[in-house]
Amino acid sequence: MTLLSPQSLASDAAAQPVLEVENLVIRYGRATRRPTGPAAVDGVSFTIRPGETLGLVGESGSGKTTIGKAILGLQAVTSGSIRFEGQQIDGLKPRARRVLATKLRAVFQDPYSSLNPRLSIGDSLAEPLLVSGVRREEAQLRAEDMLEQVGLPRDAVTRLPRQFSGGQRQRIAVARALITRPSLVVCDEPVSALDLSTQAQVLNLLADLRDELGLSYLFIAHDMAVVRMLAQRVIVLYRGQVMEEGSTAAVMDDARHPFTQALLAASPVPDPIAQAERRRLRESRLVDGASASSISATGCPFAARCPMATELCRTERPALRPAATSLAACHYA
């Protein structure tokens, strides 16, 4: 019998994923019956390891926010599984969810509506600690420490949300998410409501806190440039299915799927010549005007808009398979 050293056990624990999503399917429908409509999320699988940021990218309606809601327990799962630190968490009862809420947190899109306008900043930050049994004096002290950590003064605990700018409110939202010292934070479009300079500040803050505290992020966004700044790996979604997956550098610099290429070409750049070239590339890679009714139930969901599509694409769903430096769900990647 071989005994493992404490160092080996620690290494094995560190290697365990924080989050495992396996073959996740989500269909919307009435709560009183099993949903039978089209899948908003269709067979999505991924893992997130300690200290890692996974970017989830796609157009509006691609299912990325639905996945985030399912992880947070805000959306019922039709099939598949979600495991957090080895525990299956889809379908947990409210009491178990409350215990989990200290380790699995969220930062939402709108910094104006995510804070209670009637509560002071200190009360908003202390609330999740009080619910978990921390004494009020300690909760207030940790709120002041957390505000300082996100670049705001300690005396901000006595002020109301309306006294802060949008960027400052989002820093407060980040502080509230991290105050319970979570393992994973779901960031759902956390900078899309901010101007460009403030976006960069909040992204740098998230990166610094991740490295300092050993956090993991699921970073949901539609802007590929924003994801490039923070994520180590990226998954590209289209109509609830994974189109491409790989390291951020591989997917952004050498995209293999036509939809990923079109999505990258849609990101604006300051150089007018480069922007014109991107526009030309996007028009060559994406056929607009396809309706939801034209989506094949058995083939590739992007086939109706893809200039490379053949009859095979319309009749057979492509598997996610190696294509150069990433994985792509395309017959011709």
Given a contact cutoff of 8 angstroms between Cβ atoms, the answer to whether 261 and 281 are in contact is: yes
| Residue 50 burial (10 A CB sphere; 0-12, 13-18, 19+) | middle
| Residue 281 pLDDT greater than 90, yes or no | no
Q: Where are the alpha helices (DSSP H) in 132-241?
A: 136-149, 166-178, 196-213, 224-230
| Residue 154 pLDDT greater than 50, yes or no | yes
Highest mean pLDDT among 189-193, 217-221, 262-266: 217-221
Residue 2 pLDDT? 39
Which pair of tokens denotes residue 123?
């009360």
| Residue 268 pLDDT greater than 90, yes or no | no
C-beta neighbour count of 295 within 10 angstroms: 16
- Residue 67 CA to residue 21 CA, distance in Å, equals 9
| Residue 137 pLDDT greater than 60, yes or no | yes
- Residue 216 CA to residue 222 CA, distance in Å, equals 19
Residue 278 pLDDT? 73
Residue 122 pLDDT? 93
| Residue 221 pLDDT greater than 50, yes or no | yes
Q: What does the CA dihedral 167, 173, 174, 175 come to, rounded to 10 degrees? A: 110
Given a contact cutoff of 8 angstroms between Cβ atoms, the answer to whether 104 and 182 are in contact is: yes
Percent of the chain predicted with pLDDT > 70:
88
From residue 18, alpha-carbon distances to 92, 103, 227 in Å are 17, 10, 20
Highest mean pLDDT among 19-33, 98-112, 138-152, 294-308: 138-152
Strand partners, 219: 55, 187
Q: Which of the 8 DSSP states describes residue 305?
A: G
Instruction: In the chain, count H helices and then E strands.
Output: 12, 12
For 278, the enclosing helix (H) or strand (E) is: helix 272-285
CA 261 to chain centre: 20
Please write the tens of the pLDDT for every residue from 205-214.
999 999 999 9
Percent of the chain predicted with pLDDT > 90:
55
Show Cβ contacts of residue 162 under 8 Å, excluding neighbours closer than 6 positions.
Answer: 117
Q: How confident is the model at residue 220 (pLDDT cuts 50, 70, 90)?
A: very high
Least confident of 104-118, 123-137, 231-245, 291-305: 291-305
Query: Where is pLDDT greater, at 43 or 295?
Result: 43
Please write the tens of the pLDDT for every residue from 180-206.
999 999 999 988 878 888 888 889 999
- Residue 19 CA to residue 16 CA, distance in Å, equals 9
Residue 111 pLDDT? 78
Amino acid symbol at 239: R
Query: Where is pLDDT greater, at 135 or 4?
Result: 135
Q: Which of the 8 DSSP states describes residue 294?
A: G
Q: Closest Cα partner for 20 from 183, 174, 177?
A: 183
Please write the tens of the pLDDT for every residue from 2-58.
344 444 444 444 568 999 999 999 998 765 566 667 889 999 999 999 999 999 999
> What is the overall mean pLDDT for the chain?
86
Residue 295 pLDDT? 61
Report domain extents, the chain: 15-103+180-252
* CATH architecture label of 15-103+180-252: 3-Layer(aba) Sandwich (3.40)
